[in-house]
């Protein structure tokens, strides 16, 4: 068995190497990237479109798109995980807004994104802790903005609050998430 060249590296570096290998046509790299991120991306798609078959189709499409555009990925612009999640969110919102999928309000929230599976990312506990720090008002406006793709005006109409309040809650919620995930905060909690 050959040694794994990515052993001992952090997740972001491993992902970046896998995308570089995909750009060279390495199908095993695509398979490994899929194994690393399919669960969280499927959860994201399920939260938005609320239909497993549609979410699985989106997952396939996102990885096919990643395969095709691997050569265009720039690690200086962000992490692979973020690159994939943005693609998934965009495709899911497009589908959700199309005539094929009706809106289906549910109680699930941002916590659905947290992958409880064995071998979850090292960020798992930090993400869960940062999400738990959000108040219900901040969480709700972020869910509507992120998962349903609503504008501030649409959110204000949906929850019957002023647009300025929506903007304030979004800014405060994002700030709390950012602070909860910051490197300084991670070292404090270690």
Summarised one tens digit per residue, pLDDT across range 78-110 is 899 999 999 998 898 888 776 443 444 444 555
Summarised one tens digit per residue, pLDDT across range 116-145 is 444 455 555 666 677 778 888 888 888 888
Is residue 107 within 8 A of residue 139, CB to CB? The reply is no
Helices 52-69/11-23 angle, 10° precision: 70
CA atoms within 13 A on the CB side of 49: 28
| Mean pLDDT, the chain, whole residue set | 79
Is residue 15 within 8 A of residue 36, CB to CB? The reply is yes
Q: What's the CATH number for 1-104? A: 1.10.1740.10
What does residue 160 show for φ and ψ, rounded to 5 degrees?
60, 55
The domain defined by 105-190 folds into Arc Repressor Mutant, subunit A (1.10.10)
Q: Confidence class of residue 184 from pLDDT cuts 50, 70 and 90?
A: low
> Containing H/E element for 90?
helix 80-97
pLDDT for position 21 = 96
Nearest-angstrom CA–CA distance, 46 and 121: 19
Domain boundaries, the chain: 1-104, 105-190
Both tokens assigned to 38: 């399919």
Nearest-angstrom CA–CA distance, 58 and 49: 10
Q: Confidence class of residue 148 from pLDDT cuts 50, 70 and 90?
A: confident
Q: What is the dihedral of CA 60, 115, 169, 177, to 10 degrees?
A: -110
Count CB-CB contacts under 10 A for residue 189.
Answer: 9
CA torsion through residues 26, 78, 48, 125, sign = positive
pLDDT for position 118 = 44
The predicted model scores a pTM of 0.57
pLDDT above 90 (res 15): yes
Both tokens assigned to 70: 């691997």
Q: Confidence class of residue 70 from pLDDT cuts 50, 70 and 90?
A: very high
pLDDT for position 142 = 82
More confident residue, 146 or 158: 158
Q: Percent of the chain scored above 70 by pLDDT?
A: 74
């Amino acid at each position: 068995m050959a040694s794994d060249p990515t052993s001992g590296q952090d997740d972001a570096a491993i992902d970046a190497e896998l995308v570089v290998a995909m750009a060279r046509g390495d199908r095993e790299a695509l398979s490994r990237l899929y194994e690393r991120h399919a669960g969280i991306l499927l959860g994201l798609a399920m939260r938005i479109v609320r239909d497993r078959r549609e979410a699985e189709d989106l997952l396939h499409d996102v990885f096919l798109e990643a395969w095709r555009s691997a050569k265009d990925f720039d690690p200086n612009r962000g992490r692979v995980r973020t690159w994939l999640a943005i693609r998934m969110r965009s495709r899911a919102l497009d589908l959700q807004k199309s005539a094929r999928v009706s809106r289906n309000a549910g109680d699930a929230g941002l916590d659905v994104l947290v992958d409880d599976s064995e071998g979850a990312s090292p960020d798992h506990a930090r993400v869960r802790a940062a999400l738990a720090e959000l108040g219900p008002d901040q969480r709700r406006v972020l869910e509507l903005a992120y998962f349903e793709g609503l504008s501030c005006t649409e959110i204000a109409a949906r929850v019957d609050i002023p647009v300025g309040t929506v903007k304030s809650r979004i800014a405060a919620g994002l700030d709390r998430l950012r602070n909860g995930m910051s490197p300084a905060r991670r070292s404090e909690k270690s």
